[in-house]
Structure 1
Amino acid sequence: MQFKSTQQDERCVAFTGGRILTMGSPEEVDSVIFQSGKIIKTGPSKILDEFIPEDIINLHGRTLVPGFIDAHLHLSFGCFLPEWADLNGCASKEEILARMKKYAETYPQKEWIVGFPWLNSLYDGTGLSRADLDAIFPDRSVVLIHTTFHSMLVNSQALKHAEITRESPDPRSGFIERDKNGELSGTLIESACIPLYIQILAFDSTTYADLIERSGRELHQFGITAIHDPGVTPDAESAYSQLNAEKRLPVSVLMMPHGMTLLDNQVGERLQGPISGEGDEWLRTGPVKVFGDGVLMESTAISVTINGEKIASGTYRNDFQDVLIDAVSHGFQVCVHCLGNLTVDASLDCFESARKHAPPGFVIRPRLEHLNILSQDQIDRLASLNGCACVQPQFLMRAGHLNKTRFEGTKWFAYADMRDAGVVLAAGSDYPGGFMDARDVIACCRMGATMNDGQGNTISPEQALPFEQWLWMYTAGSAYVGGQECERGMIQEGLVADFVILEGDLNPDNPPVVAETWIAGRRVYLRTRNENKTPVPGFDHE
């Protein structure tokens, strides 16, 4: 029988015999009792005599924590990866083209041939061009999506399909790359990608729902029981709603409304729908997601001082401020993608302006994503606005070069300074973007605790946070930035019975592994002795 994760177990069950970290107050308890998907009692071992659970599970010295909440996971487009050519590991132009050609031959019926992840030469990738794609694919539309999802390389057929010509102007907050003669190079940056994303992300609702469900079940092995999806389009919201109605959601989802497709800030009519906080424990509306800037050099607004010289690059988007204020006026919280420090200032200015437009009694909780570079003044200002942030330690990957330059007045990956200033921090993966499979919560906690880039370099060591603090950020912290602190993220009475059992010490140098994952009081994953990560259908407690 297929396991339906939204089904709740009616039995009264208890955990005891190990370390139980509540991520709240008190910090630890001896036992926790849950029934019908909710925690009904925590405390000393004597509570087991009061409630007499039907099943008492001995942790055997292992650690129990709340279920992990990935506060920045793009499930609604990460689910498309199985439908595309997998370019992971391709180190040359020839390898990429060969893999794309093989994929096209395997799926002759597909109109669009999509490959991911593509790296251009600026990101230690390969120097592919539109002409390279045209030579192999003269009659089929081809799209190579950059590993950041903020750029793509396309062939002439795809440009024709999207009606992008030499005469096409750059869109607002986007770039159509051209060579010195004005010819299209095939590279599209930021919002210039929107017409192509509309094409390649178009699936019927049933297929879309199936893809989301399949991809969502992969999260159980990492201990992830809930996510914030920062970029839920109208089509994605329909698919999520279908899954919830059919009790097929594999994890709880906080939907963050977005435009018609990825990178589109124009939320439009969605502001007339359910506002932030509406929904149930399985599917709830979160803050509206807008992009303040991008990821690439051209689109990340940064200003730094090096050896007394001020250097600026990139620009932030000019289409997010009005959307932010409009969303707040309709009763929505808002989350802004901010990589550059200039974008942080623009975002905080906008949140301050939005206060005048908020409905009576509405308390704005400014939320900023990423925040790779900041000044102390910006950190203090965010804290003064009751702001919060979601950070992704996987961005330490490939950041080793930052150690070679002394930056004056700005800080990279200021995790500890934000915490010390009172900014509530959440953690997330940004999956499927980036340079690693950051769904691995334990690996990300390890990176954040050591500030290691995975290649032997330590970045901003003074910003390291303890391993247990990162666990808090993936649980209570993530719940708070999603407005879910009264629903999940802690082991407290009345909250959902989502748990992770960790085997091993909470030591970043020799980190624990996810041994079991429980959602709504049911075990959905068990790590076996012979296999590192094995999903388990059903409750079959031994």
Structure 2
Amino acid sequence: MTISPEKNPFPIAFTGGRILTMDPKQSHADVLVIQGGRIVDIGDKCVLKSYPDVEIIDLCGRILLPAFIDAHNHLSFACFVPQWVNLWGLTSKDAIQDAVEMHVQNHPGRDWIVGFPWIDAYCGGVELTRKDLDGFGLDRPVLIMHETWHKFVASSQALKMASITASTPDPGSGKIIRDSDGEPTGVLLESAGAPLLQLALETNRRRFADLIEARAEELHAFGVTAIHDPGVTPAAEAAYRLLYEEGRLPVSVLMMPHGDSLLDNRIENRLNGPSTGLGDERLRVGPIKLFADGGVPGTVAFSGKIRGRMYTDGMPRDDFSDELIKAIKRRSQVCVHSLGNVTTDAVLESFETAIEQSPDGHNILPRVDHVFLLSLAQITRLASMGGCSAVQPCFLNRAERLKRMAFEGYQWFAFNDLVKGGVVVAGSSDDPNGIMDGRDTIKCCVMGATMSDDAGNVIFPDQVMPFEQWLWIYTAGSAIAGGQENERGMLRKGLVADLVILEGELDPKKPPFVAETWANGKKVYVKAKLTGANQ
């Protein structure tokens, strides 16, 4: 249950349980003291002698650690999901049509109808075209979004509003699927869908801010008090700043500036705005976000031998490298979306070139997120540049088929290899994704610790790491990846008092749960206790 935080000017001491500091300089502590939103002391029980008026909170054997940082959460996009048609688990045209029609009944008007997450035939669902959507008989534009949000299908009215016709050329980093007559089928890949996204998500600054606030408040139940939003459009940045100005940001946000809509790498205008690092602990500008490949077959660049036979698919986007180098020259940091091994090679090469051309005194922190398929040589290259990566254990839910695609010399979901290779690894949800609710940090730590899907099927056992290692990844690891290690992610004197209390054992077979969440020294969430008939 979310609660209204109350300001307490007096010091508060936590003791009586295990304290995980995530701080290599002080791994053990018996007491943690906070005041005014900060950690003011940490150490053994003698610390309490310095605070005669302290309020003591008995952990009762529970576990105290830094609150979680979701290092790849598209909050300014995910906030729209509750407004859309819920397509979770729907794998037939009839079921999708029924859901759309029910949504229209409950939400009359002329606004866009957006459905998510669409499961296509490749993932066990159904293919759709504009003719299918036109057959719903609606006098409103319809946009159905793939579970990866890298593939879309639009109705004829939606295509017309976005001025997409038979004569519209494919964007360099996207594709308009066409029929035998050259007419758009309604299916759009990657940046070809950006104009529709921009239209469908258009809203005023006030409503945008309200949607963000509501979605952000849900994160407290998962122990999350800070996020990195990788793809903040100018409109989203304006909404975040409104929340900041009004003191309404439920979580700390590291904004990663992007183009005018998601999947749009054109960042020239944004490079004239506030640069990486500007802001404070509640709202700060992070690295520029670029996409180097996509998220569906044909848009992710893989290449290598599988059982002795060469397999190649997809190409990296052709619009990210120049933008990356340009941003580095302007003293920004950069985060790049990269799934395929071929793409990652191109991204690493671009960072290496950017480092050679970077201004004097500009310390670059190369960040390559997702990295589904990696070689040890690529890990070494990233580590040699002091690089980092935000990964998502939740995607193990769709990894069974990848297990059968064993590329020689490469590893899928090489989480343990990354850590052993010296790359800073951050934990994240990639919310919203249509695979599972990756915001559930504890569940994701379990999946990472066992390298299994959420049904318990072990996928890549050689990449297993301890549960506590994953807790570090979602706290200190995420802070380092965001350049925030001097403000959060560890229990250290002077850092922000963002805390989570876990109840239970640190055992992936019987994991703990989030009992309380504290943000900026204030209690913002307490798990409701079940009693009587509710147990």
Query: TM-score normalized by structure 2?
Result: 0.97
Aligned twin of 1:17: 16
- Superposition deviation, residue 363 in structure 1: 0.6
Aligned twin of 2:413: 413
Identity of aligned residues (%): 51
Contact 2:11 2:53 in 1 (8 A): yes
Aligned twin of 1:109: 109
Aligned twin of 2:397: 397
Asked whether 1:48 is paired with 2:53, we answer no
Q: Which amino acid aligns with 1:300?
A: V
Q: 1:293 to 1:97 in 2, by over 3 A?
A: same
Contact 1:87 1:99 in 2 (8 A): yes
Q: Which structure 2 residue ranges, 5 or more long, are not aligned?
A: none
Asked whether 1:327 is paired with 2:327, we answer yes
Contact 2:232 2:258 in 1 (8 A): yes
Aligned twin of 1:315: 315
Contact 2:222 2:514 in 1 (8 A): yes
Q: Work out the CA distance in 2 between the residues paired with 1:117 and 1:278.
A: 35
- Superposition deviation, residue 3 in structure 1: 7.0
Q: Work out the CA distance in 2 between the residues paired with 1:517 and 1:293.
A: 36
Aligned twin of 1:439: 439
Aligned twin of 1:76: 76
Asked whether 1:294 is paired with 2:294, we answer yes
Q: Which amino acid aligns with 1:179?
A: D
What whole-Å deviation, never above 9, does each CA across 1:143-175 have from its counterpart, x for those lacking one?
001111111111111111111111211111000
Q: Aligned to 2:133, what secondary structure does the other structure show? A: helix
- Superposition deviation, residue 53 in structure 1: 4.4
Q: Which moved more, 1:214-223 or 1:87-96?
A: 87-96
Contact 1:4 1:248 in 2 (8 A): no
Q: Which moved more, 1:400-409 or 1:12-21?
A: 400-409
CA RMSD of aligned residues (A): 1.4
Q: Work out the CA distance in 2 between the residues paired with 1:251 and 1:390.
A: 19
Q: Which amino acid aligns with 1:414?
A: A
- Superposition deviation, residue 180 in structure 1: 3.2
Q: Which amino acid aligns with 2:491?
A: I
Q: Work out the CA distance in 2 between the residues paired with 1:475 and 1:403.
A: 29
Q: Aligned to 1:213, what secondary structure does the other structure show? A: helix
Aligned twin of 1:385: 385
Q: Work out the CA distance in 2 between the residues paired with 1:274 and 1:3.
A: 34
- Superposition deviation, residue 269 in structure 1: 1.7
Q: Work out the CA distance in 2 between the residues paired with 1:10 and 1:236.
A: 34
- Superposition deviation, residue 109 in structure 1: 1.2
What whole-Å deviation, never above 9, does each CA across 1:433-467 have from its counterpart, x for those lacking one?
14000100000000000011234432221111111
Q: Aligned to 1:297, what secondary structure does the other structure show? A: coil
1:387-536 correspondence to structure 2 within 5 Å: 387-530=387-530
Q: Work out the CA distance in 2 between the residues paired with 1:39 and 1:456.
A: 38
Contact 1:37 1:496 in 2 (8 A): yes
Contact 1:395 1:434 in 2 (8 A): no
Contact 1:9 1:37 in 2 (8 A): no
What whole-Å deviation, never above 9, does each CA across 1:348-392 have from its counterpart, x for those lacking one?
111111123322211111000001100111011111111111100
Counting matched residue pairs gives: 529
Q: Which amino acid aligns with 2:57?
A: I
Asked whether 1:267 is paired with 2:267, we answer yes
Aligned twin of 1:534: none
Q: Work out the CA distance in 2 between the residues paired with 1:216 and 1:406.
A: 38
Q: Aligned to 1:312, what secondary structure does the other structure show? A: strand
Contact 1:402 1:459 in 2 (8 A): no
What whole-Å deviation, never above 9, does each CA across 1:318-375 have from its counterpart, x for those lacking one?
0011111111111111000010011111111111111233222111110000011001
Contact 1:69 1:479 in 2 (8 A): yes
Q: Work out the CA distance in 2 between the residues paired with 1:522 and 1:172.
A: 48
Q: 1:456 to 1:530 in 2, by over 3 A?
A: closer
What whole-Å deviation, never above 9, does each CA across 1:170-206 have from its counterpart, x for those lacking one?
1110000112342321111100001101101111000
Q: 1:187 to 1:514 in 2, by over 3 A?
A: same
Q: 1:405 to 1:245 in 2, by over 3 A?
A: closer
- Superposition deviation, residue 131 in structure 1: 1.2
Aligned twin of 1:305: 305
Query: TM-score normalized by structure 1?
Result: 0.95
